[in-house]
Structure 1
Amino acid sequence: MSTAHTIRIAKPPSTKRVNLADRVYAQLKAELFDFQLMPGDPISENEIAERTQASRTPVREALFRLQRDGYVDVQARNGWYVKPLDFDAFDELYDVRITLECVAAQRLCALDNRPPALTGLDATWGIDTARRETDSTTLWQLDEQFHAEIVAAAGNREMARIHRDVTERIRIVRRLDFVKPARVDATYDEHAAILRLLGERHAEPAQHLLEAHIKASRDAVRQITLHGLFEARDAIRTGAA
Structure 2
Amino acid sequence: MRASDRAYAALKSDIVEWRLVPGTVLAEVEQSARLGVSRTPLREALARLGAEGLTAAQAGRGVVVTDISLAKMTELFDVRLALDCKAAELAAAHRNPHVFTALAQRFEDASSLIAGADPDQRAYYALVSELDLAVDDAADNQFLRQAQGQLRAQLVRIRRLAKDNSDRLLASAAEHAQIARSIAGGNTDLAIAATKIHLHNSLAHLLASKLSFDAGSTPSRKAHPNG
Q: Which TM-score bucket, shorter chain as reference? A: 0.7 to 0.9
Q: Which has the larger radius of gyration?
A: 1
1:70, 1:107 → 2: CA distance? 27
Task: Give CA deviations for 1:186-238 in whole Å, capped at 9, x if unaligned.
Answer: 1111122223333344433332221010121122222214457863233x249
- Counting matched residue pairs gives 220
1:180, 1:96 → 2: CA distance? 25
1:108, 1:19 → 2: CA distance? 35
Letter in 2 for 1:122: A
Contact 2:92/2:187, CA 8 A, preserved across alignment? yes
Pair 1:199-2:189 in alignment: no
Task: Give CA deviations for 1:53-88 in whole Å, capped at 9, x if unaligned.
Answer: 222332233223322322222334333322211443
Contact 1:101/1:151, CA 8 A, preserved across alignment? no
Which of 44, 49, 56 is the equivalent residue of 1:66? 49
Instruction: Indicate the residue corresponding to 2:107 in structure 1.
Output: 125
| Structure 1 vs Structure 2 CA RMSD | 3.0
Instruction: Indicate the residue corresponding to 1:233 in structure 2.
Output: 220
Letter in 2 for 1:209: A
Name the % identity. Answer: 26
1:1-241 equivalences under 5 Å are: 19-110=2-93, 114-127=96-109, 129-130=111-112, 132=114, 134-223=119-208, 224-225=210-211, 226-227=213-214, 231-234=218-221, 236-237=222-223
2:189, 2:158 → 1: CA distance? 28
Task: Give CA deviations for 1:23-61 in whole Å, capped at 9, x if unaligned.
Answer: 111101100000000011222322212211222332233
> Judging changes above 3 Å, is the alpha-carbon distance between structure 1 residues 229 and 166 closer, same or farther for their aligned structure 2 residues?
farther
2:51, 2:216 → 1: CA distance? 23
2:2, 2:110 → 1: CA distance? 44
Query: The residue matched to 1:73 in structure 2 has which SS?
Result: strand
Q: Which has the higher contact order (CA 8 A, sep 6+)?
A: 2
**Structure 2 length-normalised TM:** 0.79
2:203, 2:48 → 1: CA distance? 26
Which moved further from structure 2: 43-52 or 31-40?
43-52
